[in-house]
Chains A and B, each alone.
Chain A
């Protein structure tokens, strides 16, 4: 059983790492501030999300799992608002 869980964790962690890679490549290679921002928000959402899902079966107890999910929700919330802030800065800078 632990083999199955471990395999699941590894697959999920690799998926998360893939989205981190995709987001970083997007941040470096996309032509425009707003397109780069789009790539970045995928990192927060999917990258961290897959990592949290992968780590959930490895944590003891309900509280530990809930804490992991809380971290993910907080990062999503904070970075969603920060992304709006960044988009605003990008728009104003593009105008000037």
Chain B
């Protein structure tokens, strides 16, 4: 057991140190780099806690998509950063005290758990065979709480609409202002040619294996988004204008298929998002296929940002 304790202490200490670094960093860029490092370490923590699906999502979103998004945002803010007044000391102290109180409360709950942990996990795994899935997380996402998953996917599309609403009027429908490399070197071009095929295969594999092993549509989609961003940033493919019909179709097709399956549930199995007994797994796989595509395209467009020049 000593190995496990040693590792737990090491990673907890490192996480705390990195968190302090993120808070005291002086520029947004440094804080963002710290945040990406924090995300990677957190992925290790999730694995140590046996939550592999969460670890996959943390790595794909934190170091992949959100990392690039925040770095781009920090770059855009750099011009005005020097003029921002820093917050006053009493405000910083009160924020610090509030954080300590919340952390203390959480620690008190975690370090003194009730004798029987309140959890639905045993019942969730017991009923899983009816859905044909092997991964309990997929069961929760697509069978027990499918409505939540549907709403989440719609929220992602709404987020994209929110980002697009920042477009100036003259540029509506135009090309997003994703910062690209001015003159990509041979190495960068090689990287952007070699990695995406591997990444796309891995993304499809992660979505496909999500039915029975850790993985799923979100993780696969996030990896696809990262690979598409890589290709665009290295100037191997142009950034598409936001008015492109095919683009908008890809963004909406996932939620649309899922919604259709949901309404078909009225006819086939009696209520919204209910699955007929033997067709549960194929329907879920069809829904996940559409969702992987949509999530990939939508996340990449979220990073690309609002249109900045007309097409």
Contact = CB atoms under 8 A, between A and B. Distances in A.
Interface string B179-201: 00000010110110011001000
A81 B198 CA distance: 14
Interface string A68-96: 00000010011001101100100000000
Interface string A36-78: 0000000000000000000000000000000000000010011
A84 B187 CA distance: 7
Chain A interface mostly = helix
A81 B185 contact: no
A85 B198 CA distance: 19
Chain B interface mostly = helix
A78 B195 contact: yes
Contacts of B191: 78, 81-82, 85
A81 B188 CA distance: 8
Interface string B183-221: 001011011001100100000000000000000000000
Contacts of A78: 191, 195
Contact of B194 (A81, A84, A88): A81
B208 to A, nearest CB: 15
A82 B191 CA distance: 8
Contact of B198 (A74, A82, A84, A88): A74
Contact of B187 (A74, A77, A88): A88
Interface in B144-178: none
Contacts of A88: 185, 187
A84 B195 CA distance: 15
Contacts of B188: 85
Nearest to B188: A85
Interface string B45-88: 00000000000000000000000000000000000000000000
A48 B195 CA distance: 20
B195 A85 contact: no
Contacts of B190: 81
Contacts of B195: 78
16 contacts: A74-B198, A77-B194, A78-B191, A78-B195, A81-B187, A81-B190, A81-B191, A81-B194, A82-B191, A84-B187, A85-B185, A85-B187, A85-B188, A85-B191, A88-B185, A88-B187
Interface of B: 185, 187-188, 190-191, 194-195, 198
Given A84-B187, A85-B187, 10 more contacts: A74-B198, A78-B195, A81-B187, A81-B190, A81-B191, A81-B194, A82-B191, A85-B188, A85-B191, A88-B187
